[in-house]
Amino acid sequence: LAKTTQPISMDSYEGQEVNITCSHNNIATNDYITWYQQFPSQGPRFIIQGYKTKVTNEVASLFIPADRKSSTLSLPRVSLSDTAVYYCLVGDRGSGGYNKLIFGAGTRLAVHP
Amino acid sequence: EAQVTQNPRYLITVTGKKLTVTCSQNMNHEYMSWYRQDPGLGLRQIYYSMNVEVTDKGDVPEGYKVSRKEKRNFPLILESPSPNQTSLYFCASSPLTGLDTDTQYFGPGTRLTVL
């Protein structure tokens, strides 16, 4: 699985849009990009997944440029409850390596009143 | 409600006393996995299972055993726990449809302390 690099921490305020960028320079052709969210003492929770361009769901948007060497998770109008650690993972859906999720240190997002 | 459950949620034990942490999922998922999470080290995979009676080592399997006799259950066994196994443990499951193979559903976690 491709290694990812994210900022260690970010701060924001309620109501702002937060963008967390992840670098994955060695991403392979078959790799998908997935983001998880983890609250303290809870298991990670799937947020969004994409392959290229833009993906949007009810929680977030994921922007992936054409070269796919990076991706940006966008959280619109964050609230205090969005304070969590966000992990970017890159993996292959179809090959034998898909079953291993390698979590990096993640980005610790703190949302302030 | 679709979920992954773990028991116990908290456990304090002593070195060498065998223990089992249970994991159960009600989503009929083929794939199940155990992770441990330690400060500064993130989540690391211990063991995983692709289906009943099929298990394989993850990144940190030493000191752990698993079994998969039923599809829904994937217990983690510590035959002789040691203090370095003090950690937060997560069980996860995932379907193997080829469509959502990266989407794993995590349990609430088990905080284990070995004295």
A106 touches chain B (CB under 8 A): yes
Give the per-residue pLDDT at A103.
80
Contact predicate A61/A47, CB 8 Å: no
Contact predicate B76/B46, CB 8 Å: yes
Name residues of chain A where pLDDT drops below 50. Answer: 97
CA A75 to chain centre: 10
CA dihedral for A13, A19, A20, A21, sign (positive or negative): negative
| CATH architecture for the domain at A9-112 | Sandwich (2.60)
Residues 6+ apart with CB under 8 A from A16: A77, A78
Nearest CA to CA, how far is B79 from chain A (Å)?
Answer: 25
Low-confidence winner among A58-67, B2-11, B68-77, B101-110 (lowest mean pLDDT): B101-110
Interface size, chain A vs chain B, as Cβ–Cβ contacts under 8 Å: 61
Q: What is the pLDDT of residues B64-99, one digit of tens each?
A: 999 999 999 999 999 999 999 999 999 999 887 655
A98 touches chain B (CB under 8 A): yes
Q: Percent of chain B having pLDDT more than 70?
A: 95
The pLDDT of B45-58, averaged and rounded, is 91
Give the per-residue pLDDT at A97.
46
| Residues A99, B31: C-beta atoms closer than 8 Å | yes
- The structural domains of chain A, with segments of one domain joined by +, span 9-112
Query: Nearest by CB to A100, which of B40, B42, B45?
Result: B45
What 3-state class would DSSP assign to B96?
coil
